[in-house]
Structure formats: C-alpha cells, structure tokens
Amino acid sequence: MSPTSIYLHIPFCKHRCAYCDFNTYAGQEDSIPDYVNALIREIDYVASQQANYSTSEPGGTAIHTIFFGGGTPSLLSGSQFDAILKALRAAFALSADAEISIEANPGTISHEKLDAIRDAGINRISFGVQSANTEELRMLERIHDFFTVIESVFNARKAGFDNLNLDLIYGLPEQTLASWKTTLSRIVDLHPEHISAYALTLEHGTPFGSWSSKGLLPLPDSDLAADMYEYAEEFLAGNGYVHYEISNWARDIDSQKSKVEDPTCSFRDLTPSYACRHNLQYWHSHPYLAFGAGAHGYANGYRYSNALRIKTYIERLVDPSSFTSHPFPLSPAAVNQHKQTIQDDMSEYMLNNLRLTIAGAVESDFRMRFGCGLLDVYPKEIEELIHLGLLESKTSGISETPEVYRLTKRGRLLGNQVFLRFV
C-alpha cells in the first residue's frame, strides 16, 4: 500500500484573475488567522480518527507528500506555515524525505518569507507564471510582470530551493505561436526543475467565460493551440525536460537513455526524478487527505470534499468535538462524501494513469489492485482506441503480454476522447 499524501487548500487571493474558477476569494485576508486555526483543528480531528486506517503506523498514517494549493498559499506567513506543519508532524508519520510544496504567486513572496518557509520545512515551490508576455499577463489580470518572476526565482534559489515548478497557460486570447515560443524560451532560461503547461479552459461564471459567450474573446483556433502544444513537446525535450504527464515536464538526474537500456527498469522507473511526487499520487490513484475549504480527498474508500466558503468552513470547525463522530478521513467540514465502488476505482485508475505519458496504465499494477487484467475489464475500449491510433501498448520485454497502455502522440492531443470511454 502506497503512503498517503496531504492536500491543504488556502482559498485567499489578492485579486481574482479573469479566467479563474477555483475556490478562492479576494479581499478576505483578515480571516487568515482564524482559517489557519481551523485548519489545525481539522488536522487534529482527522488524526484522532485514524487508528484503524490501513496505512496507519505507530506514529500515525504514513505521509510522503504535502501540497499547499490555492488560492495563493504564499499569502500565509512563515510562522503560519510552521504552525500547520507542526500540527501535521504531530498528527501523522511524515517521512524524512517528504516533498512539501506550496503554490506561490510571483510578487507575493519576499526574500524573508522564502527563508522562513524553507526553515519551516517547505522544499518545493510552484510559481504561477502563466506567460512571459506583459500584454498576456495583463489580459489574464495577473498581478505580476515577468520581471517579478525573474526576481522571485532568483530569491527562491538564494533561499535554498532546488526544486521549482513554473506554471504556464497557452491558447490565450490573441496569443501567437511566436509569443508562446518566446515565453517557453524565457522560462527555460530560468532553469526550473519542472514546467507545467495547460491549455486555457473557459469556465462558466468567470469573466472569460462570459466574454467568450458574447464573442468578445479572440482565442486561437484549435489547430493553433495544437501547434503550441506540439512546439512545447519538441522544445522542452530539446532542452532536457522529460514529458511525463500530458501537461507536465521535469528534469531528470539520470539519463533516460541509460534507464531505457536497463532491462530491469520498469515504465514507472522512467518517471523523471523531479516529477511532482504529490501530483503523481493523484495520477497513480493513490490516497490523499484533504484539509481546508473546498478541499477534495480520497482515502479509506471515500471520495469527499469540504464546505466551500471560508466562513462556513471555520464555523464547522469551531468545536469539532461537539459533532457526532465521522469515519476517517472525514471531518465536520465535509459536505460531500461518496463510498467508492470497485467500478469507480477502476474507472478512475484509467482516467488518472492514462495521463502519464511514459508510465501509462500498468497491467501488473491493475491486476494487483483489482485481481483482474485491464483487458478483462476494458477489452472493447482498449481495442477501439488502439485501432483509432489514440492508445498504444508496450511489452516489458520479459513477456509477450502488453504491460503498459499509454496515449500516442495523437492521443495526447485528443485525451478527452480517450478518457470518455472509461467514464
């Protein structure tokens, strides 16, 4: 059984960006101290229920990654991160080499704060850069410019962070292939260990969603967006980044070539060393606990989520002992819970693992979890997708039976068509 991960949601932003539909609120920073106290109460409550959880160890559930997502986690102070991490260490068995990440907006994290969060134990930062083009950043209503990105990366390196991700969005209104190429080249010049590049999605209820429905958003057509994606694949590979998930690239310490030539090496071993271990937990369909307003978790057979609003979340945790007992890992803040069936787990296994461009959906892993093979459950779907050129199978070299199914180059562009078959 894999160790568990932890996600903590920090739903505060200085300003709401025009395309964003995340559970986050601008202008509520006064609530941060109460929110941090509520998070600690939720951690303590969930920990008090963990005794019978299957990955529980004498010191509590074994945890190997923690991720502070948002919102803008970098709005919390070093001492607030310290207090939350102390509560997590007291509650669970955190591994010595745990990956502990925060999302940060360039410009919201001073040199002093970087030192403080490093001292608190955070060892990975994911900066929401989105673009290196001033006009594009303005259109997205981001509060930073690219100079601030350079400064933030420089300060993070100075504070000792040796694992940085830079997040990008492509397919922006009026974006050209030339401007996307410039963004990628400027990002690579900053030598991050990890790069994420997501296509812009128009979400209902956002200003971008409403402008687009009125025909006011000149978006690149799908061919141009596909060209941007293909250029990223080619350019990042040429600069030493391994494309390990549909939208994610990472540097590797060892050469991929020597790994490929090693006959004992499995497809999973080809995952680059700087891959985000926390996100791999989701893509491998392994368990994670969730804390905070609107946070989603998956553990002990449950998928669950907490109350969205900051005020409701805090109120629900004022006195957790006054609530009736909740099964692990649910807390009094949970408002949705679903007991997973084996069919849910199998379907999610395919949706998550097929996002992994090298490791894919693994026959031996699926068999170990569910007691049957991939072709026993999805014969028609797999055959059809291979026939359409969206999926490919690979053998391990030890047996003739396919060990891995993964997206082809075309499948990566048309991922949704693949995933739909397994819903």
Q: List contacts with ligand SF4 (CB under 6 A).
A: 13, 16-17, 20, 22, 24, 70-72, 105, 128
Q: Which is nearer to ligand SF4, 17 or 129 (CB)?
A: 17
Q: Give me the numbers of helices (H) and strands (E) for the chain, helices first please.
A: 17, 18
Widest distance between CA atoms in the chain: 61
Distance, CA of 141 to CA of 134 (rounded, Å) = 11
For the CB of residue 333, give the shortest distance to ligand SF4 in the complex, in Å.
20
State the nearest-atom distance from the C-beta of 15 to ligand SF4, in Å: 7
Least distance from ligand SF4 to the Cβ atom of residue 218, Å:
21
User: Min. distance of Cβ 282 from ligand SF4 in angstroms?
Assistant: 18
- Determine the Cα–Cα distance for residues 219 and 415; give it in Å rounded to an integer: 20
User: DSSP states of 25-53 as a string?
Assistant: EES-GGGHHHHHHHHHHHHHHHHHT-TT-
Q: What is residue 211's three-state secondary structure?
A: helix
> Which of 128, 402 has the CB closer to ligand SF4?
128
Closest separation in Å from C-beta 141 to ligand SF4: 8
CA distance 282 to 5: 9
93 versus 202: smaller Cβ distance to ligand SF4 = 202
Residue 225, both tokens? 């967006």
Q: Which is nearer to ligand SF4, 16 or 268 (CB)?
A: 16
Q: What is the token pair recorded at 372?
A: 């049957």
| Identity of the residue, 71 or 272, whose beta carbon is nearer to ligand SF4 in the bound complex | 71
CB of 361 to ligand SF4, least distance (A): 31
Q: At its nearest, how many Å lie between ligand SF4 and the CB of residue 156?
A: 17
Question: Positive or negative, the Cα torsion across 157, 161, 163, 164?
Answer: negative
User: Using CA atoms, how far apart are residues 355 and 216, in angstroms rounded to an integer?
Assistant: 32
Torsion angle of the four alpha carbons 131, 137, 142, 147, in this order, in degrees rounded to the nearest 10: 70
Q: Please report how the helices 177-189 and 222-238 are oriented relative to each other, as an axis angle in degrees rounded to 10.
A: 30
Give 293 or 299: the residue with its C-beta nearer to ligand SF4.
Answer: 293
Instruction: Find the Cα–Cα–Cα–Cα dihedral 194, 251, 237, 247, rounded to 10°.
Output: -30
What separation in angstroms does the CA of 6 have from each of 68, 98, 147, 206, 356?
A: 9, 11, 33, 28, 21
d(CA 238, CA 249): 12
Task: Decide whether 104 or 359 has the Cβ nearer to ligand SF4.
Answer: 104
Least distance in angstroms from the C-beta of 22 to ligand SF4 = 5
Q: Which is nearer to ligand SF4, 24 or 152 (CB)?
A: 24
Q: How far apart are CA 232 and CA 336, in angstroms?
A: 38
d(CA 358, CA 254) in angstroms, rounded, equals 16
Per-residue tokens: 141: 């209503």
Q: What angle do CA 26, 207, 246 make, to 5 degrees?
A: 90
Residue with smaller CB distance to ligand SF4, 71 or 360:
71
Residue closer to ligand SF4 by CB (options 104, 382) is: 104
